[in-house]
Amino acid sequence: MRLGLLFIMVVASSQLAIADDAIELRKQFHECLIDQSKTERFHKRVMSIENPSATEVAYQAASKALMAKRTWNPIEKISYINKYGRLIDQAIKMEPNSIEIRFLRLSIDFYTPMILGRKDNVKKDKYYILEMLKEITKVNFDASFNRFILYFLKDKKIYSESELALVVSKLNT
């Protein structure tokens, strides 16, 4: 009995640690968008994760995109974007129904130049996210990440008013 209770406590605490890590990654990613001087530290932290989950791979990809934005060297920019593409696609293959991973890809590919061939993902992810949201009751992200998602989607006019209303209704704001 005690062993079973101990096992449940260990599993529950490890799940909380994973959730805390995801919240921290989201927070650090958002901070990099506001203050580019934090990008390199975020990049080093996220790339040092051993045996990353799909979400962690997605943030590794996002860190590559942030590094591409930060560098002035065109060859390095292309290298970072190519690494971003491989990692984000790997994350989606690992967890194809993750709204968070799809949103990260949508929000980054939205800004990539057409010549890099990533713009098709914006439309795919837009509709994929919308379809997934129709099937669930709500998304349980932390409030600051919800605000970030809503700000981006409203500001970039990704969705129509009625589509955006669905997104708002599913986010835990």
Rounded to whole angstroms, how far apart are CA atoms 25 and 17? 12
Domains along the sequence of the chain with CATH: 2-170 (1.25.40)
Q: What is the pLDDT of residues 19-71, one digit of tens each?
A: 467 889 989 998 888 899 999 999 999 999 999 999 999 999 999 999 999 99
CB 106, CB 156: distance < 8 Å: no
Q: Check residue 20 and give its pLDDT.
A: 62
Q: Check residue 61 and give its pLDDT.
A: 98
> Which of 45-59, 61-75, 121-135, 139-153 comes out lowest in average pLDDT?
139-153
Rounded to whole angstroms, how far apart are CA atoms 78 and 84? 10
CB 125, CB 106: distance < 8 Å: yes
* Residue whose token pair is 């914006």: 122
HSE-CB for 138 with a 13 A CA cutoff: 10
Q: pLDDT band at 12, cuts 50/70/90?
A: very low
Residue 95 is which amino acid? Answer: E
Instruction: With a cut of 50, say whether residue 149 has pLDDT above it.
Output: yes
